[in-house]
């Protein structure tokens, strides 16, 4: 499978999609920067400690993986899958009670998890198809 992954990088659509994912991650990094700078509705220091920790961790993840995916790094794509599952899907599903402070947060978490699953599925399909 890993050989398939490395061989699929030169494929046109896989490369385009990796660049798209990179741009999505840059957007995510900007959102986390915005949160940290308290540019939203709530001051960052008033948010739960877990949210603040996750903002910092996800900001670092987004920047590093965005660069890796932009340059079609094999390790970047493996890290992308690993970290999306570890840092977003698991916490936002198994430990969601720690991330919900108001009813709207449920929809936001569902949207984030759904989006991540769709993006990962599309990338897997591109790697497997190799066309």
pLDDT for residue 46 is more than 50: yes
How many domains is the chain built from? 1
* pLDDT attached to residue 129: 83
pLDDT tens for 2-24 read: 555 555 455 888 999 999 999 99
CB atoms within 10 A of CB 79: 17
* Count of helices and strands (H, E) across the chain: 6, 0
pTM of this structure = 0.85
Q: What is the domain extent for residue 79?
A: 2-129
Mean pLDDT to the nearest integer, 93-97? 91
């Amino acid at each position: 499978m890993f050989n398939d992954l490395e061989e699929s990088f030169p494929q046109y659509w896989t490369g385009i999609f990796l660049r798209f994912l990179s741009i999505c991650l840059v957007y995510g990094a900007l959102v986390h920067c915005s949160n940290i700078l308290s540019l939203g509705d709530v001051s960052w220091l008033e948010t739960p400690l877990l949210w603040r920790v996750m903002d910092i961790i996800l900001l670092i993840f987004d920047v590093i993986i965005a660069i890796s995916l932009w340059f079609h790094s094999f390790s970047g794509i493996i890290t992308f899958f690993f970290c999306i599952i570890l840092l977003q899907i698991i916490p936002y599903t198994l430990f969601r009670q720690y991330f919900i402070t108001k009813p709207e947060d449920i929809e936001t978490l569902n949207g984030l998890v759904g989006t991540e699953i769709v993006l990962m599925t599309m990338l897997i399909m591109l790697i497997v198809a190799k066309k």
